Structure formats: C-alpha cells, structure tokens
Structure 1
Amino acid sequence: MIRILYTSFAFTSTITSLFLTTFTPLAATAQSNGNVGINIPIAQADKATTYWTPQRMREAKPVNINRTTLPQPTSQVERSPSGSPVSAPSGGPSSSQLEMLSEQLSNNSLISSVPFAASYPFTYSRSFVNLNRYTQYPEATIGKVFFTENGVDKVCSASAVNSTNKRLIWTAGHCVSNGKGRFHTNVTFVPAYKPGTAVPAPYGTWSSCGLYARSGWHNNSNFAQDLGAIQACDKGNRRLHNVVGFLGFLANAPRNQFWHAFGYPANPPFDGRRMVVCAAPYAVNDSGNPNPIGIGCDMTGGASGGPWLVKYSPNRFGAINQINGLNSYKYNHQPGAMYSPYFGSSFLSLRNYAIQRGS
C-alpha cells in the first residue's frame, strides 16, 4: 500500500565579481545517515544572486555527463524496491500566481516541434517544450541551476519538489557537489528560464541557503547515489513553492514506469536555450547499488538534474506530475540513452535530511 506524505537580474560590481569568482568551495559540515550538507548564510546567498548577471548565465558551461566506462546492464528483470512505495502529491502555486498562470492557458500544447522518435538503443521520442508552457504548471517548477565549480561557472537543470517547508529544489548530486568532498558555490535556481526572450527569468532568481547530497556521491562520485537537494532562500515573505508550485514524488516504486524527462541540454546538438522533454518507458538496469535505471533520451550536458516525471498531466495537481528519476549520466557510445539513480531509500533519506536542515 502506498503511503502519502503531505506536506532582476542585477549586475555585480567588479569587486564583488572578483571576490565571488575566487571564493573557496564549501566543505560539508554535517553528516547523517549517509547524507551530507551545509547551510549557507543569507549574506553569502545574496551575493550569489548578484553574481549571476545575464551574461554569466549565458556563458555558464554545461557539465559533461558522458562516462567513458562501458555500461554493465544487470538485467531487464525488475529489481525489488527497498521498501513499501511512498508518494507525495504535486501542488500548484498560491492563488495570485495561479491566476497569472491561468491567463496563459490559451495554448496547452506541450511541444513546439514535431517529435523526434528513435529506437536505438532504447525507444523514445524527444521534443522542444512550447515556450507558452514555461510559465504553466508543471513546467514552471523546472528551470536551470547555476553554480561555480573550481572557479568555472557551470549550469545544470533542477525542479521544485514537494516539501513541508516549501523550499526544496531537486537536482543531480554533481550539480551541488564535485564528488570529491566539496560543495559548489554561487548556487542559484532560475525556474522557467527563457533565455533570449523579453523576460528570461519570469519568477526571478532563487539563491541557495543550503546544499545537500548523498555522501556516496559527495565523497566518492558514486553515480548510483547521484542525488542532490537545494534549499531555496525565501524572497521576503515568499517561498519558492508558493510562487511556482511543486512536483510530487514517487519512491520505492516498480521500475517499469513511463517517464517524461525534462531538462535544458546545452552540449551539441543543443544550445541550452530551450527546455526539452523525452518521453520514454523503462529500458534497462545499469550496475550500481541500487541499480540505476536507463531510458532512451538524447539530451546532453546541461540537462543534468532535470526531473523524470511519471503521470505527466499539464495544469493539474495531485497524484500526478511526480518526480521518479533525474538526468544523471550517459555513456559515450550510447548518445540515445540516459541514466538515473533509482528513487528508493536514498532519495527518501536525503529528502528528509534536506527538509530538516532547511526548516
């Protein structure tokens, strides 16, 4: 039985720019049950928001998610989950924001191009998300996360996910930590990011007041534990989920699902300017503990951390639009495949840890 858990752009000064560019990466300060994290002072978080000028966002480098080692598929036979299935519902923004979204429902089409379909190595279709959908639900919960790693500005994808504190952002572990014991700096989330349009950040920028990861990723670059969470700082009396809504989640579920995988791929043949969605069924288990899941999808670096949704349903909330995976890694010889950590006990543990640290 499934258990239900409810729960302007600004330009920086030269001095600030130099300071933040050379800021020492953050080391973890607290560990618990295989999770590690750090809370970030408001003053430092505010500087991160100022750091991300439109030019820096345009020039941020996508993380390379290709792995050179050969995949070791274990089997296409489903592995047992680590416990009873657990889920939480998706939810919309506050009434004022919902009114703004509802004004834009004249075009409910998900895509703005003829879907590209492929069958190798796994079956999938891929499309560009219609620009009119970026500020509608659930696409409004999805955006880019910008950060600095070893002095280099980089970019991933991320999404707002159900939490009692209305602050939780979910992404890949490598989008918050270098996998060698250091958290990234200047971490900032931009939901519904639309570069090249009149309003590229329709819901503003949300700096991070906390970064959290599985210690298996943070210390050892274990892709089976490539899970990351971000606590969004409040903007005055507003919290992120009240502005854009939030995705639900599904964990310890059967692996045989059908997903809509979202992200902002930026490595060729993509350029990072558009949100992309792959629609694909379960394809294979990779090696790891627990075994990561593979699907067909040709998104590239920059899409890291983007959510895999089960029961995608535009403009609706509840036991739908639930995250059940994320874009984590690919293999060089499989450009048409994407892998995600399995969402089981590790996901649930990190989610609870991030909420407790971020309350």
Structure 2
Amino acid sequence: MALLVTGVAGFIGSSVAAALLARGEQVIGIDNLNEYYDPALKRARLERLGAAHGNAFTFEKVDFADQEALEAFAAPHRFDRIIHLGAQAGVRYSLVNPQAYVRSNLMGQINMLELARHREVEHFVYASSSSVYGGNESLPFRVEDRVDHPISIYAVTKKADELMGESYAHLYRLPMTGLRFFTVYGPWGRPDMAMWIFTKSLYEGTPLQIFNGGDMRRDFTYIDDIVRGVLSCVDGPPNDDGKRKAGGSKSPHAIYNIGNHRSEELMRMVSLLEQATGKTAAFNFQPIQPGDVKDTYADITAIQRDHGFEPSTTIDVGIPRFVEWFKQYHHID
C-alpha cells in the first residue's frame, strides 16, 4: 500500500511515517519546511527516515495550501490512502498570526479533501486537536460533547476542519477519520511545547514560566501510543452503512480522541523533569494565557471500542525517555 503523509517532517508525521515504513508500506511525504520552529530539526527527522528506509520513502517539499503546487506534485504519484497531519500548530501563535492558520488549516484542508475526492482514496485520516473542546468544564472530554465555544483561532480552524470532513464524507461518501490529539510528547518532539521548553530551561538554569500558578492539568500522550492509535485508525476506515459513528456522524466519518486517559498535574510533570535531568527548577509564575485551558482529559471509549486502542506509556516512563533523547540530540553530557 502507498500512503501520502502530509507534515511528514513534523513530530507526529515523521513518527507515523517511520512506523508505516517499518511495516513495509510505501510512504510519499510532503512538508513545506516552514520556520515556525527550527527547520534543522525537521530536516533531521527527514534524514532519519531516508537513512532507515531508502527507496520506500519519497519526500517532496510542497505547500499543500498552494492548490497549484499540490496538484503538480500529486500528478505523477499514486497513493491509496492519505494521512493529513500537516497544519499550523500552536495555540499561542494563533493570537499573533491568525492568517497562517487560515491558510494552512482551512485552505490546506480543503485542498487535501479535493485531492482525496478526485483520487477516490480508500481513507482520509486527518489531525484535529483537543483544543476544539475549548472551555468545556465537563471532564473527561468526550467526542459526543458539544464543541461550539472555541477559545483560540487554532481551535476554530480545527473545528472547521472537522465540519469540512463531515461535509465531504456526506457528499462524496469518502471514508474519513478525524483524530483529536491530546498533548503529544516524546523523542523528536516540538520545541514550542512545554515539555521541551521546560527541559531546555532546566539545562540552561533559567526559570520555568508556569502559567495559572501551576494549577493546570494535561493528558500527556506519549508519541508511540499516538502512532499506534493513528495506524489502527488508518487500517480501519469507517463503513458507509448509515449508522451513527463516533463523533455523531451518519456519514462514513468518525472522530476520535487519542489521549492517555490520564489527566496529570502540571507540577508533577515538572517534578519528573527535575528527576530526569538532575536539575532543580526555578519558577516564574504567570497568569493563565489567552486561549489556554486549565484542564484536558481524554475519554477514549470510542477508539477503544472501534480500534482496540490502549495507551501504555505513563509520564513516569515517557518523560525520562524524552529527556534522554533531548540530551543526545543536543549533545548534553
């Protein structure tokens, strides 16, 4: 099977591509290698994929928000399924550059849906986000919950992606799965995420910026668990049988939470980072930031039921693994 993976130089995209290649699939990857964070990290992920898998992996630098460029790229390629993980990520950056989110997450999504429709792919899997739950105070977050009150432009675009997906699934009977990721971390992670930022500060001896006085909880999900969840969904497209799917759809469109089903206190995460690095943190406490939520917690009943997904990595195991990788990547003794 040949699969097109967008955002293949990203954290989740490169990890999913590596798992697909390891089981013998052909992967065609695209990414625009933008400078939202250091492109050197993105290139290092690509080099790792190419070195390990040779001709089974093909990469082209493509901006899927550019319709003409996407069509020109796709013309000579054959692929059976699409895993659309590319997006403009980050809640806080959406406060200062909302146009980037509209372009990548809205125009990009519609361009990819059109590509999937015209190619009649077997399954279109795309990234959503736990951010769609906004200020929902009912925990854990369930895919059946209303998500009509986003509190960031990033969340707005991800909810819009789900609505576009529902429309295409209904109109064209295109099997589709949206995945709401919860605070993904681990080796080859993103430098704009709290775990990376805190680890960097610990090694540099600078204070950790802690928001809301540290009174926050997150459903931290290790990358290996995320990858297993993604692949299980890729392998099991929703049937077009008229029955209501996860997320409430009667079209061949399912939406799932992929989380660890554990809501951990932020300061417990910091404590584990201190243990793993051997450093003691200093703190700079700040009020909660616009667009942030106090708690996240994934109800994974739907993906457990439909795909047998069971996360297996607690932060007690995952955080030391991340720190060990961080040390190797940055050549820290």
TM-score band by shorter chain is: under 0.3
Higher relative contact order (CA 8 A, sep 6+): 1
Give the number of the structure whose residues are more often helix, by fraction: 2
Higher-strand-fraction structure: 1
* TM-score, normalization by structure 1: 0.23
